[in-house]
């Protein structure tokens, strides 16, 4: 009787569900998080010191430097809220005699098509940032991980391209945009700005510090080159990608010379070019000039304040932070 009972019971029936196979790069990301925490603690100790005295000196130094850096910006904002008579009065005073006013901002907005210029700047800067980050990341990964003939020569040309002044490329780039029928278009404003050799070098330095063992673990799971780049390298490089994206965005937003040359239509102007056309028949209006500068810098200030931690972390671990 007992023998029949044991035979009728399946002996190989599993009692637990089989474990799922981890996605390629999952173990790599877990190890990277632990390594990032150690690097953050190491960076904090290098910056602030180990003891309370060193940290107090570091905080005091940072406070003084921040005050020196912020003083011109605060003065520009306060001056833009004054009347033209108070801004040009001698001697200068902190408190305006005629009181605070937003007249300069109203005049700047009324003198030009400010919302359209801001939209053009956002569109061009976003397009430049996306294309530049994609090209720089792929090129940096090729220089860092791939071994091919002519690799050193191409990287040497990339380094040498940093020393080429962008002003000498304006004429050939303008001729190229005319040949491609992209002059006086937003695409013609964006495309010549997407190649930045410095960003390739910065990202290559970061990729060189990623352990090769993390990629080998993903390759054992069956991942190819593109899958390793997408699932392992890019998730581990969020800090440097964010830092590069912000610097590229700021550079494209502040670019004045190339958009000024390649565009003729007022509806295609970016905000630096558009604000440069806002003039007054009575000469230089300091309050309006400062109001224009504040309007143009406000989006960049917001972006920097939101992502400043990523910028510091990215460049601190890319070989550009002095470590």
Q: How many domains does the chain have?
A: 1
213 within 8 A of 35, measured Cβ to Cβ: no
Q: How far is the C-alpha of 314 from the C-alpha of 323, rounded, in Å?
A: 12
Give domain status of residue 144, yes or no. yes
Give domain status of residue 7, yes or no. no
Q: How far is the C-alpha of 246 from the C-alpha of 238, rounded, in Å?
A: 12
List average pLDDT for each run of 10 residues in the chain, which is 323 residues long.
45 48 61 71 64 77 88 87 82 79 84 83 94 93 87 91 88 92 92 91 89 79 79 85 88 91 89 76 71 82 75 56 40
Residues 6 or more apart whose CB falls under 8 angstroms from that of 34 comprise: none
Query: What are the counts of helices (DSSP H) followed by strands (DSSP E) for the chain?
Result: 17, 0
Which structural domain, as residue segments, surrounds residue 224?
113-316
Give domain status of residue 62, yes or no. no
pLDDT at residue number 261: 92
- Within 13 Å of residue 276, how many CA atoms lie on the same side as its CB? 12
184 within 8 A of 263, measured Cβ to Cβ: yes
Give domain status of residue 91, yes or no. no
Q: How far is the C-alpha of 245 from the C-alpha of 125, rounded, in Å?
A: 10
Cα dihedral sign for 33, 37, 42, 44?
positive
Q: How far is the C-alpha of 264 from the C-alpha of 13, rounded, in Å?
A: 77
Give domain status of residue 260, yes or no. yes
Give domain status of residue 257, yes or no. yes
* CATH number of the domain within which 261 lies: 1.10.3720.10
Q: How far is the C-alpha of 118 from the C-alpha of 124, rounded, in Å?
A: 10
Residues 6 or more apart whose CB falls under 8 angstroms from that of 317 comprise: 39, 43, 206, 209, 239, 240, 323
Q: How far is the C-alpha of 252 from the C-alpha of 110, rounded, in Å?
A: 25
Give domain status of residue 249, yes or no. yes
- CA 157 → CA 52, 151, 154, 169, 173, distances in Å? 47, 10, 5, 16, 19
Q: How far is the C-alpha of 297 from the C-alpha of 302, rounded, in Å?
A: 9
Q: How far is the C-alpha of 259 from the C-alpha of 183, rounded, in Å?
A: 10
Q: Is the peptide bond before 7 cis (omega within 30 degrees of 0)?
A: no
Residue 195 DSSP class: -
134 within 8 A of 196, measured Cβ to Cβ: no
pLDDT at residue number 320: 44
- Within 13 Å of residue 24, how many CA atoms lie on the same side as its CB? 19
pLDDT at residue number 176: 92
Indicate the angle between helix axes 114-145 and 151-161, nearest 10 degrees. Answer: 150
Give domain status of residue 306, yes or no. yes
Three-state DSSP state, 106? helix
């Amino acid at each position: 009787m007992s023998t029949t009972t044991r035979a009728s019971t399946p002996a190989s029936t599993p009692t637990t569900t089989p474990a799922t196979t981890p996605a390629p790069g999952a173990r790599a990301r877990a190890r990277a998080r632990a390594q990032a925490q150690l690097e953050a603690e190491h960076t904090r100790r290098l910056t602030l010191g180990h003891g309370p005295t060193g940290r107090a000196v570091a905080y005091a130094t940072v406070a003084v430097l921040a005050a020196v850096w912020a003083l011109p910006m605060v003065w520009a904002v306060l001056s833009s809220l004054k009347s033209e008579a108070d801004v040009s009065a001698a001697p200068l005073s902190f408190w305006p005699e005629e009181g605070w006013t937003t007249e300069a901002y109203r005049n700047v907005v009324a003198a030009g098509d400010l919302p359209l210029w801001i939209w053009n700047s956002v569109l061009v800067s976003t397009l430049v940032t996306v294309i530049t980050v994609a090209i720089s990341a792929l090129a940096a990964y090729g220089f860092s991980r791939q071994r091919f003939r002519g690799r050193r020569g191409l990287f040497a040309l990339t380094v040498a391209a940093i020393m080429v002044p962008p002003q000498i490329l304006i004429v050939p780039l303008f001729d190229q945009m005319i040949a491609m029928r992209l002059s006086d278009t937003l695409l013609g404003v964006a495309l010549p700005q997407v190649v930045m050799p410095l960003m390739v070098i910065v990202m290559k330095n970061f990729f060189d510090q990623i352990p090769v063992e993390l990629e080998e673990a993903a390759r054992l799971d069956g991942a190819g080159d593109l899958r390793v780049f997408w699932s392992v390298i890019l998730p581990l490089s969020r800090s440097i990608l964010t830092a590069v994206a912000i610097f590229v965005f700021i550079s494209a937003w502040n670019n004045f010379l190339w958009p000024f040359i390649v565009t003729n239509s007022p509806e295609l102007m970016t905000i630096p070019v558009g604000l440069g056309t806002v003039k007054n028949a009575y000469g230089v209006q300091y309050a309006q000039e400062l109001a224009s500068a504040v309007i143009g810098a406000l989006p960049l200030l917001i972006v920097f304040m939101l992502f400043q931690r990523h910028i510091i972390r990215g460049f601190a671990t890319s070989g550009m932070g002095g470590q």
